[in-house]
Structure 1
Amino acid sequence: MPDRSRAVSASDSYDVVVLGAGPVGQTVAGRSRAHGLSVALVERELVGGECSYWGCIPSKAMLRPVIAVSDARRVDGAREAVTGPVDAGAVFRRRDRYVTGWDDSGQADGLAGMGIDVIRGHGRIEGARRVVVATADDEQRVLTARHAVVVCTGSTAALPDLPGIAEAHAWTNRAATDSSDVPRRLAIVGDGGVAVEMATAWQGLGSSVTLLSRLHALLPRMEAFVGEMVADGLKEAGVDVRSGVSVVELHRPGGTGPVTLVLDDRSEVTADEVLFAVGREPLTGDIGLDTVGLAPGSWLDVDDSCQVRGVDDGWLYAAGDVNHRALLTHQGKYQARMIGNLIGARAAGQPVDTSPWGAHVATADIDAVPQVFFCDPEAASVGLTTDQAQRAGHRVRAVDVDLERVPGALLYADGYRGRARIVVDLDHEYLLGATFVGPGMAELLHSATVAVAGRVPIDRLWHVVPCFPTISEVWLRLLEAYRG
């Protein structure tokens, strides 16, 4: 792959140095450039990061054909046109197209066109405002930041310390999204978003999938009914969903052939591949945190402006997964916008607004985090669940509506099945959270996010008129149910 970065001297100074050129790092760099600051963006893998090549983009490229076929099968007149299985080879070619064949030159060129210096290599902090980059040709580039260093190195899949896991050659999300061979049998260990999305995708591509959840519910951070409906959808698609079980050891003699998973009840599951989707850990182990008094390999503790605590003079920031506030690409980019604007304001000597919902704080990381899982049915939520709101001390009422009551459901399926919930703060009569599960829910979520982040009063929501017939009429049904 050609190196598209600008050559720099052995020692160079910038206003801002960013470690990690995924979507979050690119956003920090872009916002800083918009304020007229010089920026060095350091990347040791592909410019575009995990999301572009092994996460959000390839997984959704794989999921859409599977769900499109499922959607067609739920509509009279369309299901008759579905005469065969999903073409796995065509799906992989589609995925490869959306990840540009894992060639990042287009993204690197785009950044260069913005005046951002992309420096390829492993960046390591060496004291205050100083980053040393080890390049592929064994040279070192010393970068000094006049205003800020921003850590956007992301996270990687965590693997449990189990007997036999090394010889099992377990998949993580990377293998699950860049493999082009369909395993006859795939075991997936996990209960979160990666687990349910990959179970949906690979079952649809032709694998016989067994999903093993340690908990008794899928998607445990959402309302309980979501996990129940997603589990039902997976089972209907043919996935063997087993809850309340744990893997205690694995066997794959010689690292080849089938892998055997031994469960805590001593039963066994045999598969051709096993995917672990059991959490993430920060990519901070080898970026020099110890040189500024921080623990290597740790999540970075930040304030609401994403400045790293425990570092003198406030020059170190962390955005995205590494600060553990919300491990979601869109939330990391939101933080990045705040950081870039804050660095720009401080560099120009302008006032800084750190009030709640101010221009330089990431308030929505606490109160209005949206998330979507593109399983079948789709699961979407924003803000607090009923339980979370109650534990936080709010006096709330949860209001539920079955989505089959909404006329616009006919656009998605005959016999549509889905459910929506809003969590209303009874003392202020605005929404603390909203949850949707069912076909087509992903595009419904932003309206809920506006309502939650904006704390739109229930009285005002009555004047937000949904088009007929659309699934957005669920808002009218929810308000009617709340008022009785």
Structure 2
Amino acid sequence: MNQARDEYDVIVLGAGPVGENVADRTRAAGLSTAIVERELVGGECSYWACVPSKALLRPVLARAEARKVPGLRQAVGGALAAADVFAYRDKQVGNWKDDGALPWLESAGIDLVRGHGRLVGPKRVAVTPPDGSGGEERILTARHAVAVCTGTRASLPDLPGIADVHPWTSREATSSSSVPERLIIVGGGVVACEMATAWNGLGSRVTVLVRGSGLLERIEPFAGELVAETLREAGAEVRTGTSVKGLARSGGTDGPVTVTLESGERLEADEALFATGRTPHTDDLGLETVGLEPGGWLTVDETCRVRDVPDGWLYGVGDVNHRALLTHQGKYQARIAGAAIGARARGVAQLDTGRWGEYATTADEAAVPQVVFTDPEVAAVGLTAEQAEAEGRRIRVVDVDMGQVEGAVLYADGYRGQARMVVDLDRGHPIGITFVGLGVSELLHSATIAIAGEVPIERLWHAVPSFPTISEVWLRLLEAYRG
């Protein structure tokens, strides 16, 4: 790649999926683009989050499904071969090397600059080379835009003993190649639920400690209830309304961990995983040199342009803007932000940023899809009933037992699941849909289209689901709505 230039039209900080998509769109607009990365090209999702976690979960979930199929369950009654699962995971992440990601950057004409990038004034980025590289700091200048796509890192609570214990975060949980005999997981969100599913399936004795009243509290209540029920049936312990007040490790770095609860009870495990939120990677980016507070989330407009920065040259795309902390949603933002940068560079004065406009990230608030890869799967898009009511909408909620759908009956013996559709009565179309059950992740995009397209209920009657598939749940939902 040509890295001789120090001036570009666009500089992107962070070469994860979000940064790559911004760079792809600005190059497509004919703008010279450099992307700065201090770790691996591909980012958190590719090496320590989405990809490795799903690689760990796939064998666990496939076995769980197979055990629900008559004639097959006896063939899959044994333990998983953990070494083979880890080898599969390692292959999917390229053994934590980014060689496979580099040819695409070169083919797209995007210059890669290795090192830590930080702002040193408007449209100026200083890049410190990686440790041991022996290179000198470079100053890059952007003619049109700098896009901050640096994502987030795991957030640890301020608890006595936590610094000495060095607990697992999502990174250790997705990259470990040994199965702890006992694993305590603190948290009740997506990471906690997925890692409880994975490690329990790999043979750990898992205990989940949830401060709130249940799992997955940002999704419809029945989702967390069904996931907790299945985890317990699989041998995990799930405790709700439980807070941790301290922890300690004895016997050195490999010794057991003692977790002390607010009640005074002490639990012992081989490892403790904290899945307690995310913090933006903005504390060491030089934001103070352009009048912003370091360490916080970036406040952006509909095109992901950072507010309160003169001349509108700075963009915050993906997790750093806290709009929707999901890889696919960050990539969506990146496509829009990159196109907006290109349009503004061409001198387009007024961009279509109205609701569902070409340069508006409307889906961030109206149609965010999410899958939780647990047993059962959870797939949701749009608003929950509680969120819709909090917005003052006049709604109708319809629920369907997915175990009554013929396709689900054939899919697994004793299929358990639930579907919910939230309909805005004034608009006449769905604004929220949640599926819980085996194989429901592949139903989600149809729901996302229905919500993003604001498809009227009466038109959905003409979208005929194939028989006998799980997608017939759509017909059951519409029938329930009509009464």
| Alignment equivalent of 1:8, drawn from 4, 11, 18 | 4
TM-score calculated relative to the size of structure 2 = 0.98
Following superposition, the deviation at residue 7 of structure 1 comes to 3.3
Following superposition, the deviation at residue 317 of structure 1 comes to 0.3
The one-letter code sitting in structure 2 at the alignment partner of 1:401 is V
8 Å Cα contact 1:6-1:119 kept in structure 2: no
Please list the CA deviations of residues 8-37 of structure 1 after superposition, one character each: whole Å capped at 9, or x if unmatched.
25xx11110000000000000001111111
Please list the CA deviations of residues 321-359 of structure 1 after superposition, one character each: whole Å capped at 9, or x if unmatched.
100000000110000000011111111223521111111
Following superposition, the deviation at residue 98 of structure 1 comes to 0.4
TM-score calculated relative to the size of structure 1 = 0.98
Q: How does 1:173-188 map to 2 (within 5 A)?
A: 173-188=170-185
Question: Residue 265 of structure 1 corresponds to which residue in structure 2?
Answer: 263
CA distance in 2, matches of 1:6, 1:245: 54
CA distance in 2, matches of 1:29, 1:441: 33
Following superposition, the deviation at residue 138 of structure 1 comes to 4.1
CA distance in 1, matches of 2:436, 2:418: 5
Please list the CA deviations of residues 138-192 of structure 1 after superposition, one character each: whole Å capped at 9, or x if unmatched.
4111111111000000000000000010121100000000110000000000000
Percent identity of paired positions between Structure 1 and Structure 2 = 63
CA distance in 1, matches of 2:270, 2:256: 5
For 1:118, what is the secondary structure of its paired residue? strand
Structure 2 unaligned residues grouped into runs of 5+:
none
Question: Residue 276 of structure 2 corresponds to which residue in structure 1?
Answer: 278
Question: Residue 41 of structure 1 corresponds to which residue in structure 2?
Answer: 35
Q: How does 1:72-471 map to 2 (within 5 A)?
A: 72-136=66-130, 137-253=134-250, 254-350=252-348, 351-471=350-470
CA distance in 1, matches of 2:203, 2:170: 18
8 Å Cα contact 2:67-2:77 kept in structure 1: no
CA distance in 2, matches of 1:142, 1:218: 47
Structure 1 unaligned residues grouped into runs of 5+:
none
The one-letter code sitting in structure 1 at the alignment partner of 2:93 is V
The one-letter code sitting in structure 2 at the alignment partner of 1:125 is L
CA distance in 2, matches of 1:355, 1:401: 35
CA distance in 1, matches of 2:353, 2:143: 22
For 1:357, what is the secondary structure of its paired residue? coil
CA distance in 2, matches of 1:256, 1:466: 54
For 1:170, what is the secondary structure of its paired residue? coil
CA distance in 2, matches of 1:260, 1:229: 29
CA distance in 2, matches of 1:98, 1:75: 28
- Residue correspondences, number: 478
CA distance in 2, matches of 1:428, 1:288: 45
CA distance in 2, matches of 1:332, 1:267: 41
CA distance in 1, matches of 2:55, 2:77: 22
Question: Residue 70 of structure 1 corresponds to which residue in structure 2?
Answer: 64
CA distance in 1, matches of 2:427, 2:298: 34
CA distance in 2, matches of 1:154, 1:118: 18
CA distance in 2, matches of 1:152, 1:283: 9
Task: Please identify, of 191-200 and 106-115, the stretch whose mean Cα deviation from structure 2 is larger.
Answer: 106-115
CA distance in 2, matches of 1:250, 1:128: 44
For 1:297, what is the secondary structure of its paired residue? coil
For 1:262, what is the secondary structure of its paired residue? strand
CA distance in 2, matches of 1:67, 1:21: 31
CA distance in 2, matches of 1:292, 1:166: 33
Q: Which runs of 4+ in 1 moved over 6 A?
A: none
The one-letter code sitting in structure 2 at the alignment partner of 1:391 is A
Task: Please identify, of 77-86 and 468-477, the stretch whose mean Cα deviation from structure 2 is larger.
Answer: 77-86
CA distance in 1, matches of 2:269, 2:411: 34
CA distance in 1, matches of 2:113, 2:423: 48
CA distance in 1, matches of 2:49, 2:385: 29
Following superposition, the deviation at residue 256 of structure 1 comes to 3.7
Following superposition, the deviation at residue 411 of structure 1 comes to 4.1
The one-letter code sitting in structure 1 at the alignment partner of 2:465 is P
The one-letter code sitting in structure 1 at the alignment partner of 2:189 is G
Superposition CA RMSD, Å: 0.9
Please list the CA deviations of residues 431-456 of structure 1 after superposition, one character each: whole Å capped at 9, or x if unmatched.
11001111111111110000111110
CA distance in 2, matches of 1:125, 1:31: 22
For 2:218, what is the secondary structure of its paired residue? coil
